[in-house]
Amino acid sequence: MGEVKTPRQWFLWSIALVYVCAFASIYVQIPGLYGDDGILPVRLQMPKVQRPLLEQLQASPSILWLGPSLGLAPQQVLELICLVGVALALSAVLLWPQRDSLIYFCLWALYLSLYNVGEDFLHSEWDVLLLEAGFLAVLVAPLGLLRRQSSYNFHDSVSFWLTRWLFFRLTFCTGVSKLASGDPAWYDLSALSHHLQNQMSPTPLAWYVHLLPDWLLRFESVVVLQSEIIVPLVTFFAPIRRLRLFGFYVQLFLQLFYILTGNCSLLNLLSIALSFSLLDDDHFHDSNTGPKKKKGQEKKPRSWGQTLVYCLTLLVELAVYLFILYCFIALFKIQINWEEKTLSSETNFTQKKFDAYLEVFQELTIWVGVLSFTWEAVSAMLNCLCTRGIVSKLWSLVQWALITAAAVAVFALSVVPYTSMAGMAVSKVLPAVRDAYSALERFQLVGAYGIQHRMISAEGRPEIVLEGSYDGLTWKEMNHMYKPGNVDAVPPIVGPHQPRLERLMWQAAQEGDETSPWFTGLLQRLLQGKPEVVSLLQVDEAQYPFSQKPPVFIKAKLYNYHFTDPAKDKTHLQAWWRRQYKREFFPVVNLDDPALQKLLEEGGLKEKFPVQPSSDTPVSQVLSLIRGQVKGLSGPLVLTTLLATLVGIFLIKTVFSWLLGGRKPKPASVDHKTRKPKEPSETAEKSQAAATSNRASKKEANEKKDSDRSPRKRK
């Protein structure tokens, strides 16, 4: 693989942008989720008995425990963490010198602090992925703040390889989990038609895609499985550059499809960021400048050895593409009906056969990863040995040894969660590696992906609908901004904002868990009429039926939602959804209900001590001022404004660069045959040698010779 300077910069820039979205999204939701009047008040996690700080950090690494020392309330500490994270991430997005290892370490530590105290709201798959990708950014980014200039090192390809391994694990495990879980919707290839309405946050485009013919949706299911299982296997670690480019564009189009039909989540953005690991500098150079050939220059003939290698490369490429096509036809029985102009497809294997193949291929992928990493490490070492000077050579080798050792450790740790997927026993991993993984698990250095696959229901999308009442007879629904409720409401555009409450309600509806502490806390705060929690449901008070007075009673129902079909649902022509009542999810309760009080006590949400007044420090005043400016704004509006500001700054920088570049003196001739100006070092040498008459005469002779060769002279 060639040099990776440009893909590395794109990866670091993308990770910084994801951090901006993640911290800003959490900041908007902190009062409703973790505030003193929130669903799960973070102050309840503060130790009742004072413990040594190092002991507290060792048990659960988080900056939250520094709150008393800073004179800040627990909620304000979380807000400070998010604001500092946004500021650091913005600096890394806008200024390339800020894309430094120390900056990314601070971002990773800040997000880890939120993760360890965020409980269920922050324990999603994309949070784990962001922590692992963020830690890899610490290894990939240059450590340039401690020296005057940040430069490219030969060991960068070794650390950057870890991002490709992570991208492979994420993509491959996501695809494999669909079949390893035994989900019948993926075995009969009807999953995509159900997934479009069952996913967490469908977009209006998902409604239109859902109306496509059934045979086309089945074929798209085959494409998804191929893109997530077969394509990564044969392209991600291929030594042929064009195969890696093929894998990159397949994954890029797949993520764009997910974004357009299911909103832009952090998982999609992180997948795109990791996909840059499949590229090299040559791809960016070719796409920006294109191949340049001098006029009249003849192409050098290849030697017989180069011709042989070129032909073998083409044969291998062709074999890989034929193998992918064979998997399409053989594994899924793709057949074309020319008369009806349709495709038919069905799986040609059982779950038992798939599990048997998976056990073999999963272990094989680990050894392929070992060989690929060894190739990168040895190539980097040889480049270090080719540096000039003994001191530079030794220093390069020392850096290479440290980075390679860290990469080996991360790779070994990642094997533990990777083998936790169905098909391979964790016992095959060395005990020392398993012990190290258990000891470092609280730092979320590596994660497991695909193990939380949920069955796709063919009965529709289960949704929890909350209802409130003043008298227990007349009930009004409390519709959410970011999830289906009113059947006539257009599916919202949410991303890249991540509504945490809606994600848990979506999971609870599928799993049927109505006794979770967060759900009990939600009911309590709605009965109390806390505006911080109400704003999580509706920012616009006119859309919330109990904005003037909180309800006395509350209950929850479970409905099955389906996308409407104009060809079949003649009675729902103006509706996006149709729904069917399934069952009662939570019985009628009020604030004094013993059942509710018992659940609150079991969840640790009973008030055991009064809320302590926050100190009036300058930092606390600034935090309160910023919170007052953001209060009443929705998450998508805040993130859209933030991203639009970034776009505006980049446009201004581009315009200024273009204007300043336009003032530079143009070269005397644009002909490609005109000689380039000499290097500054050569000019300095000649200016120093101008004192001697011998070199001066030689310089004049060279200038005369150059003038004779100019295009105008030849004319």
**Mean pLDDT of all residues in 495-504:** 92
DSSP state of 298: P
More confident residue, 529 or 426: 529
Which of 72-86, 331-345, 415-429, 607-621 has maximum average pLDDT?
72-86
Residue 689 — pLDDT band, cuts 50, 70, 90?
A: very low
Amino acid residing at 405 = A
The size of the chain, in residues, is 715
Q: Mapping DSSP to helix (H, G, I), strand (E, B) and coil, where does residue 577 land?
A: strand
Q: Which residue reads 């190092």 in tokens?
A: 54
pLDDT at 289 over 60: no
Cβ atoms of 195 and 178 closer than 8 Å: no
Q: According to the model, what pLDDT value does residue 625 have?
A: 93
Distance CA 169, CA 175 (A): 10
pLDDT at 695 over 70: no
Residue 183 — pLDDT band, cuts 50, 70, 90?
A: confident
Hey, which residues does 701 pair with through a beta bridge?
A: none
Q: Which residues lie closer than 8 Å to 543 by C-beta, 6 or more apart?
A: 479, 481
Q: According to the model, what pLDDT value does residue 20 have?
A: 97
pLDDT at 285 over 70: yes
Distance CA 45, CA 65 (A): 10
**Mean pLDDT of all residues in 471-482:** 92
Q: Which residues lie closer than 8 Å to 139 by C-beta, 6 or more apart?
A: 101, 159, 162, 403, 406, 407, 410
Residue 386 — pLDDT band, cuts 50, 70, 90?
A: confident
Distance CA 528, CA 43 (A): 19
pLDDT at 208 over 90: yes
Q: According to the model, what pLDDT value does residue 712 have?
A: 38
Q: According to the model, what pLDDT value does residue 672 have?
A: 42
Start-end of H helices in 95-213: 101-117, 125-140, 156-180, 184-187, 191-198, 204-210
Range with the lowest mean pLDDT among 280-289, 302-311, 419-428?
Answer: 419-428
Q: What is the pLDDT of residues 604-632, one digit of tens each?
A: 888 665 566 667 888 999 999 999 999 98
Distance CA 715, CA 712 (A): 5
Q: What is the pLDDT of residues 514-573, one digit of tens each?
A: 788 999 999 999 999 999 999 999 998 888 999 899 999 999 999 999 999 888 877 767
**Beta carbons within 10 angstroms of residue 322's beta carbon:** 10
H-helix or E-strand spanning residue 335: strand 335-337
Mean pLDDT of the chain: 85
**Mean pLDDT of all residues in 447-465:** 83
DSSP state of 279: -
Q: Which residues lie closer than 8 Å to 488 by C-beta, 6 or more apart?
A: 574, 575, 576
Q: According to the model, what pLDDT value does residue 288 have?
A: 58
Residue 640 — pLDDT band, cuts 50, 70, 90?
A: very high
**Mean pLDDT of all residues in 127-150:** 82
Cβ atoms of 101 and 138 closer than 8 Å: yes
Q: Which residue reads 């709201």 in tokens?
A: 121
Given its phi and psi angles, is residue 279 left (phi above 0), alpha (psi -120 to 50 degrees) or beta?
Answer: beta
Q: According to the model, what pLDDT value does residue 287 have?
A: 59
Reading the block at residue 416, the tokens are 């533990």
**Mean pLDDT of all residues in 120-126:** 91
